[in-house]
Structure 1
């Protein structure tokens, strides 16, 4: 999932009214998984488990001030995937969700649309941040639906429409994570517009 930075302020996400959105809580997710055997679950990275806007903002200012051309530069992706996430903030909703799935013995995968680089430190950072032993290497791919199918993932959490569409394409449950209000990726998606469940309070 790429974070595209806009220097012009835009409004908050529109779309279905709040009472029309299929809200879900972590507690409700936990109850729905009771008596279910361990499964494989997937998480997007940017704006889902990490608030990584600082690294993207830095990259734009360094490589292409005022434009998103930096997203086409290999140098930026090398920097981002090999250290800039030290400035990323873990999202509390991700801590709670990952702890839930760890307690069940579920296998966790992280799938990101970031450009793949020869080396990366994202996997180690996520392992330390979320206390994950024997973590699976982060999967770098635009083809998220195929990655979901390849690893038999049954639930996928993500913030973007592309994440939710990948879950639909793979025939699994997709749960929407909301972006932080100061996310640099604009415009915001219309939460619930694809009929997906949206995690309450997941902007934090």
Structure 2
């Protein structure tokens, strides 16, 4: 447990020290802009903004593919879950992220308080219309329950639901890459820098979903910092 707490502490320290810069494991290649900056100042011309319809048109005439989505701040606005967890298990600190009791609460019931993001509804509806395979891959610590899988299936009306993949997180490795590659996922949607890099390392395209400006997960990432394409109006 002490080792786990140390890793978590180092990860949080890295995030805080780098501010809204790129993932500390992979330097950014572009300037990038946080959702807060985009809301306040508008969309700069150097960002590669796209819509769900753009992706649909690009895939027109192509066969079925497998796609993946991150869960927190991509598919669900789950800040209420993490805020509650911090208040109950480590007020003012981050050790709750290394507490299995928190993850069991989050994964086995508290997701009922997570709100589905509108952009996720559009992404999923488009890919289901095409008959694509849809996977959810989250960096959360797993629990012995299927609540989150059932919640996502019901909330987004998933026809062919796969169990949510809990990759866990690491300070040194991109844990999602192996699952993106193993399931032959061609497009992976995510809000975090690690989502974009994980997809690229697996030979897939990582498309950025903007993290909501009021998310409890800070700092807010710099959209476009890797030159990736960004979904327009995906902050909600």
Correspondent of 1:145 among 174, 177, 183 = 177
Question: Does residue 1:126 correspond to 2:142, yes or no?
Answer: no
Q: Which residue of 2 aligns with 1:112?
A: 138
SS of 2:45 mapped into structure 1:
helix
- Measured in 2, the distance between the counterparts of 1:19 and 1:38 equals 32
Instruction: Describe how 1:1-204 pairs up with structure 2 within 5 A.
Output: 15-16=31-32, 18-142=44-168, 143-204=175-236
TM superposition shift of 1:180? 1.1
TM superposition shift of 1:12? 8.5
* Runs of 5+ consecutive residues of structure 2 not aligned to the other structure: 1-7, 13-18, 23-30, 34-43, 169-174
- Measured in 2, the distance between the counterparts of 1:138 and 1:41 equals 13
SS of 1:154 mapped into structure 2:
strand
Whether contact under 8 Å (1:13, 1:191) holds in the other structure is no
Whether contact under 8 Å (2:47, 2:230) holds in the other structure is yes
Q: Which residue of 2 aligns with 1:8?
A: none
Whether contact under 8 Å (2:210, 2:230) holds in the other structure is yes
SS of 2:220 mapped into structure 1:
coil
- Measured in 2, the distance between the counterparts of 1:158 and 1:12 equals 16
Q: Which residue of 1 aligns with 2:15?
A: none
TM superposition shift of 1:16? 3.1
Whether contact under 8 Å (1:168, 1:174) holds in the other structure is yes
- Measured in 1, the distance between the counterparts of 2:88 and 2:50 equals 39
Q: Which residue of 2 aligns with 1:7?
A: none
- Measured in 2, the distance between the counterparts of 1:13 and 1:102 equals 34
- Measured in 2, the distance between the counterparts of 1:16 and 1:44 equals 20
- Measured in 1, the distance between the counterparts of 2:75 and 2:61 equals 26
SS of 2:119 mapped into structure 1:
helix
* Runs of 4 or more above 6 Å deviation: 11-14
Whether contact under 8 Å (1:44, 1:159) holds in the other structure is yes
